[in-house]
Amino acid sequence: MGNGRQRCSWVVPFPVPTMLASPAMKAVILAGGKGRRLRPFSVVFPKPLAPIGDSPILEHLIRFLVRHGVTELVLCVDHLAELIQAFLESRADLRSQVSVRYVRDEKPGGTAGPIAAIDGLTSTFLVANGDLVTDLDVGTMLEHHRARGAILTIATYARRTQLPYGLVRTDDEGLVRAYDEKPTLSHEVSIGFSMYEPEVLRYIPRGEYLDFPDLVRRLVAAGEKVGTFRWDGYW
């Protein structure tokens, strides 16, 4: 899980959303990764079940989506999928608030490929990484997405990184033109939450391994409008 604004508490701030996202909105949760950065812990449980406070990340994420008007969830699962399914089947309170179904590819499909196997994505839908914790305002993002007529909108966060070195800028002849001591660089990074129009599915052939960055490059190359939504809150 990417780290955004750092806080010293395990309490995740979830304010009441300013508006519901959309009636009967569907969301896809990508929960099939092997969690290599969490090894050895992820050998025995999938990363979406890693605890934050008294609840796993996946529960925080589902409750967040429900608060924003999501009524149907599709979980793309693979690694230790049985544990994820067993957890959700044991939580009657969650299942009473949202319908859940599972999609499992015969072989790994990347971070975009599995979406092609999901039936019923006929209107705007959400896709979230299974290790996401945020207080993103989904309703405002939806307004932003529709106002710009984007086929795909990526939620981003301004990440600032200070280099621990002096940065030397040279010209083509190797002559120094500037010297910046330990500069701070700013980048827009994806927080693992996107808004899709169903037309995106035309670019995801079923059965093809496809990662999200490759899908974005494919859309841009085809002249499709891919937008961003900057979030400065909790991530």
Residues counted in the chain: 235
Mean pLDDT for 114-123 is 93
Match 């700013």 to its residue by tokens: 186
Nearest to 34 by CA among 22, 21, 45: 45
- The C-alpha atoms of residue 159 and residue 108 are separated, in whole angstroms, by 30
Predicted confidence (pLDDT) at residue 225 exceeds the cutoff of 60: yes
User: How far apart are the C-alpha atoms of 78 and 31, rounded to whole Å?
Assistant: 7
Say yes or no to pLDDT of 112 above 60: yes
Enumerate the β-bridge partners of residue 26: 72, 125
**Confidence band for 222, pLDDT divided at 50, 70 and 90:** very high
Exposed, middle or buried by CB within 10 Å (0-12, 13-18, 19+), for 31?
buried
Whole-number Cα distances in Å, 216 to 57, 174, 199: 26, 35, 13
Report pLDDT for 40: 58
pLDDT at 10 exceeding the cut of 60? no
Is residue 157 pLDDT above 90, yes or no?
yes
Residue 32 in 3-state DSSP?
Answer: coil
pLDDT band at 188 (very low <50, low <70, confident <90, very high): very high
The stretch 160-189 carries a mean pLDDT of 93
* From 1-10, 92-101, 129-138, the region with the lowest mean pLDDT: 1-10
Asked if pLDDT for residue 11 goes beyond 50, the answer is no
Residue 9 pLDDT level (bands cut at 50, 70, 90): very low
pLDDT > 70: what percent of the chain?
84
pLDDT at site 78: 80
pLDDT tens-digit map of 69-87: 999 999 998 877 889 888 9
Of 40-44, 109-113, 118-122, the one with minimum mean pLDDT is 40-44
The pLDDT value recorded for residue 25 is 86
pLDDT at 33: 63
Residue 20 CA to residue 185 CA, distance in Å, equals 35
Given a cut of 60, whether residue 16 has pLDDT beyond it is: no
Note the pLDDT of residue 3. Answer: 46
